[in-house]
A and B are shown apart, each in its own frame.
Chain A
Amino acid sequence: MADEITPRRDPIKSSVGNVAAQRRRQHAITVAKERREAVVRTKRLCRVGVGGGGDDQLTYDDDGDGGDMMIDAEQSILEAQTCSAVQDLKLAMLFQGKGAMQKRVAALREVRRLLSRSEFPPIEAAIKAGAIPLLVQCLSFGSPEEQLLEAAWCMTNIAAGKPEETKELLPALPLLIAHLGEKSSLPVAEQCSWAVGNVAGEGEELRNILLSQGALPSLARMMLRNKGSTVRTAAWALSNLIKGPDPKAATELIRVDGVLEAILQHLKKADEELATEVAWVVVYLSALSHVATSMLVKSDLLQILVERLGMSNSLQLLIPVLRSIGNLVAGDAHVASTVLVIGQSITDSILPALIKCLESEHRVLKKEAAWVLSNIAAGSVEHKKLVYASEAVPLLLRLLVTAPFDIRKEVAYVIGNLCVAPSEGSGRPKLIADHLVFLVSKGCLPGFIDLVRSADVEAAKLGLQFIELVLRGMPSGSGPKLVEKADGIDAMERFQFHENEELRCMATKLVDKYFGVDYGVDDE
Chain B
Amino acid sequence: MAMEVTQVLLNAQSVDSTVRKHAEESLRQFQEQNLSVFLLSLSGELAGEDKPVDSRKLAGLILKNALDAKEQHRKYELVQRWLALDMGVKTQIKACLLQTLSSPVHDAHSTASQVIAKVAAIELPQKQWPELIGSLLSNIHQVPAHVKQATLETLGYLCEEVSPDVVDQDQVNKILTAVVQGMNANEVNNDVRLAATRALYNALGFSHANFSNDMERDYIMRVVCEATLCPDVKIRQAAFECLVSIASTYYEKLAPYIQEIFNITAKAVREDEEPVALQAIELWSSICDEEIDILEEYGGDFTADSDVPCYYFIKQALPALVPMLLETLLKQEEDQDLDEGAWNLAMAGGTCLGLVARTVGDDIVPLVMPFIEENITKPDWRQREAATYAFGSILEGPSPDKLTSIVNVALNFMLTALTNDPNSHVKDTTAWTLGRIFEFLHGSTVETPIITPANCQQIVTVLLQSMNDAPNVAEKACGALYFLVQGYEDIGSTSPITPFFQEIVKSLLHVTDREDAGESRLRTAAYETLNEVVRCSTDETASMVLQLVPIIMTKLHQTLEAEKLSSDGREKQNELQGLLCGCLQVITQKLGASEPAKYAFMQFADQIMNLFLRVFACRSATVHEEAMLAIGAVAHATGPDFAKYMPELYKYLEMGLQNFEEYQVCAVTVGVVGDICRALDDKVLPYCDGIMTQLLKDLSSNQLHRSVKPPIFSCFGDIALAIGENFEKYLMYAMPMLQSAAELSAHTSGADDEMIEYTNLLRNGILEAYSGIFQGFKNSPKTQLLIPYAPHILQFLDSIYMEKDMDDVVMKTAIGVLGDLADTLGSNAGSLIQQSLSCKDFLNECLSSDDHLIKESAEWAKMAITRAISV
Chain A residues at the B interface, C-beta cutoff of 8 Å: 1, 5-6, 8-13, 15-17, 20-21, 24-25, 28-29, 31-32, 35-36, 39-40, 43-46, 61-62, 64-67, 69-70, 96-101, 106, 109-110, 113, 116-118, 141-144, 182-186, 225-228
A-side contacts of B343, CB under 8 Å: 8, 11
C-alpha gap A143/B819 in the complex (Å): 32
* Contact partner, B639, options A8, A61, A64, A226, Cβ 8 Å: A226
- A13:B389 contact, CB within 8 angstroms: yes
C-alpha gap A110/B714 in the complex (Å): 28
When C-beta atoms are compared, the residue in chain A nearest to B858 turns out to be A70
A-side contacts of B867, CB under 8 Å: 62, 64
- A40:B862 contact, CB within 8 angstroms: no
A-side contacts of B157, CB under 8 Å: 1
B-side contacts of A228, CB under 8 Å: 681
A-side contacts of B279, CB under 8 Å: 6
- B447:A44 contact, CB within 8 angstroms: no
- A12:B354 contact, CB within 8 angstroms: yes
* Contact partner, A15, options B351, B492, B524, B636, Cβ 8 Å: B524
List 4 tightest A-B contacts by C-beta distance, closest first: A142-B492, A16-B479, A67-B866, A20-B528
C-alpha gap A101/B678 in the complex (Å): 29
A-side contacts of B636, CB under 8 Å: 35
B445 at interface by CB-CB < 8 Å: yes
Q: Which residues of chain B from 818 to 862 have any CB-CB distance to chain A below 8 Å in the complex?
A: 819-820, 823, 840, 843-844, 847, 852, 855-856, 859-860, 862
A-binding segment of B3-11, B302-310, B590-598: B590-598
- B671:A15 contact, CB within 8 angstroms: no
- B593:A20 contact, CB within 8 angstroms: no
- With a 10 A CB-CB cut-off, give which of A15, A45, A110 has the most chain B CB atoms: A15
C-alpha gap A116/B858 in the complex (Å): 13
* Contact partner, B285, options A9, A29, A185, Cβ 8 Å: A9
- B586:A24 contact, CB within 8 angstroms: yes
**Shortest CB distance B844–A (Å):** 7
What does the 1/0 interface line of B512-524 toward A look like (CB < 8 Å)?
0000000011001
A-binding segment of B29-37, B164-172, B767-775: B767-775
- A39:B721 contact, CB within 8 angstroms: yes
Beyond contacts A9-B282, A13-B389, A35-B675: 4 other A-B pairs, Cβ-Cβ < 8 A, are A6-B245, A16-B435, A32-B675, A40-B771
A-side contacts of B593, CB under 8 Å: 185
- A183:B778 contact, CB within 8 angstroms: no
Q: Which residues of chain B from 298 to 352 have any CB-CB distance to chain A below 8 Å in the complex?
A: 340, 343, 347-348, 350-351
A-side contacts of B492, CB under 8 Å: 141-144
When C-beta atoms are compared, the residue in chain A nearest to B721 turns out to be A39
- A70:B844 contact, CB within 8 angstroms: yes
Q: Which residues of chain B from 269 to 305 have any CB-CB distance to chain A below 8 Å in the complex?
A: 279, 282, 285
- A15:B525 contact, CB within 8 angstroms: yes
- B521:A15 contact, CB within 8 angstroms: yes
Q: Secondary structure at chain A's binding surface: helix, strand, loop or mixed?
A: loop
B45 at interface by CB-CB < 8 Å: no
- A144:B596 contact, CB within 8 angstroms: no
B640 at interface by CB-CB < 8 Å: yes
B-side contacts of A182, CB under 8 Å: 595-596
- B201:A5 contact, CB within 8 angstroms: yes
Known: A62-B863, A99-B445. A5 touches B198 (CB 8 A): yes
B725 at interface by CB-CB < 8 Å: no
C-alpha gap A110/B823 in the complex (Å): 24
When C-beta atoms are compared, the residue in chain A nearest to B481 turns out to be A16
A-side contacts of B870, CB under 8 Å: 65, 67
B656 at interface by CB-CB < 8 Å: no
C-alpha gap A17/B435 in the complex (Å): 13
B-side contacts of A142, CB under 8 Å: 492-494
Known: A1-B160, A113-B856. A144 touches B528 (CB 8 A): no
**Shortest CB distance B542–A (Å):** 10
A-side contacts of B196, CB under 8 Å: none
C-alpha gap A109/B492 in the complex (Å): 20
- With a 10 A CB-CB cut-off, give which of B282, B520, B595 has the most chain A CB atoms: B595
- B855:A113 contact, CB within 8 angstroms: yes
B674 at interface by CB-CB < 8 Å: yes
- A9:B348 contact, CB within 8 angstroms: yes
C-alpha gap A5/B243 in the complex (Å): 13
B585 at interface by CB-CB < 8 Å: yes
When C-beta atoms are compared, the residue in chain A nearest to B114 turns out to be A1
**Shortest CB distance B402–A (Å):** 14
C-alpha gap A8/B475 in the complex (Å): 23
**Shortest CB distance B333–A (Å):** 13
B760 at interface by CB-CB < 8 Å: no
- B347:A13 contact, CB within 8 angstroms: yes
C-alpha gap A26/B870 in the complex (Å): 43
- A44:B860 contact, CB within 8 angstroms: yes
* Contact partner, A6, options B241, B435, B629, Cβ 8 Å: B241
- B445:A36 contact, CB within 8 angstroms: no
B652 at interface by CB-CB < 8 Å: no
B784 at interface by CB-CB < 8 Å: no
Q: List 27 A-B contacts (CB under 8 A).
A: A1-B157, A5-B201, A5-B241, A9-B282, A13-B347, A15-B520, A15-B524, A16-B476, A16-B482, A17-B528, A24-B531, A24-B582, A36-B718, A40-B717, A40-B771, A44-B820, A64-B863, A65-B866, A67-B865, A98-B446, A101-B444, A101-B490, A144-B492, A183-B595, A185-B594, A225-B595, A226-B640
B244 at interface by CB-CB < 8 Å: yes
When C-beta atoms are compared, the residue in chain A nearest to B480 turns out to be A16
C-alpha gap A5/B201 in the complex (Å): 9
What does the 1/0 interface line of B717-748 toward A look like (CB < 8 Å)?
11001000000000000000000000000000
When C-beta atoms are compared, the residue in chain A nearest to B641 turns out to be A226
B392 at interface by CB-CB < 8 Å: yes
B-side contacts of A97, CB under 8 Å: 445, 447
- B863:A118 contact, CB within 8 angstroms: yes
- A20:B532 contact, CB within 8 angstroms: yes
Known: A28-B629, A44-B775. A109 touches B852 (CB 8 A): yes
B191 at interface by CB-CB < 8 Å: no
C-alpha gap A254/B711 in the complex (Å): 46
B688 at interface by CB-CB < 8 Å: no
B268 at interface by CB-CB < 8 Å: no
B100 at interface by CB-CB < 8 Å: no
**Shortest CB distance B769–A (Å):** 11
A-side contacts of B595, CB under 8 Å: 182-186, 225
C-alpha gap A33/B861 in the complex (Å): 20
When C-beta atoms are compared, the residue in chain B nearest to A106 turns out to be B852
What does the 1/0 interface line of B10-46 toward A look like (CB < 8 Å)?
0000000000000000000000000000000000000
C-alpha gap A17/B490 in the complex (Å): 22
- B862:A9 contact, CB within 8 angstroms: no
B207 at interface by CB-CB < 8 Å: no
- B865:A183 contact, CB within 8 angstroms: no
- B285:A17 contact, CB within 8 angstroms: no
Known: A11-B351, A40-B721. A100 touches B445 (CB 8 A): yes
* Contact partner, A144, options B490, B520, B594, Cβ 8 Å: B490
C-alpha gap A36/B776 in the complex (Å): 13
**Shortest CB distance A231–B (Å):** 12
C-alpha gap A166/B343 in the complex (Å): 67
- With a 10 A CB-CB cut-off, give which of B241, B479, B639 has the most chain A CB atoms: B479
C-alpha gap A70/B475 in the complex (Å): 60
C-alpha gap A97/B771 in the complex (Å): 38
B-side contacts of A64, CB under 8 Å: 862-864, 866-867
When C-beta atoms are compared, the residue in chain B nearest to A73 turns out to be B847
When C-beta atoms are compared, the residue in chain B nearest to A70 turns out to be B862
Known: A16-B435, A36-B718, A44-B819. A110 touches B852 (CB 8 A): yes
When C-beta atoms are compared, the residue in chain B nearest to A67 turns out to be B866
B-side contacts of A185, CB under 8 Å: 593-595
- B866:A11 contact, CB within 8 angstroms: no
B393 at interface by CB-CB < 8 Å: yes
**Shortest CB distance A62–B (Å):** 7
- A183:B721 contact, CB within 8 angstroms: no
- A69:B435 contact, CB within 8 angstroms: no
B632 at interface by CB-CB < 8 Å: yes
B-side contacts of A11, CB under 8 Å: 343, 347-348, 350-351
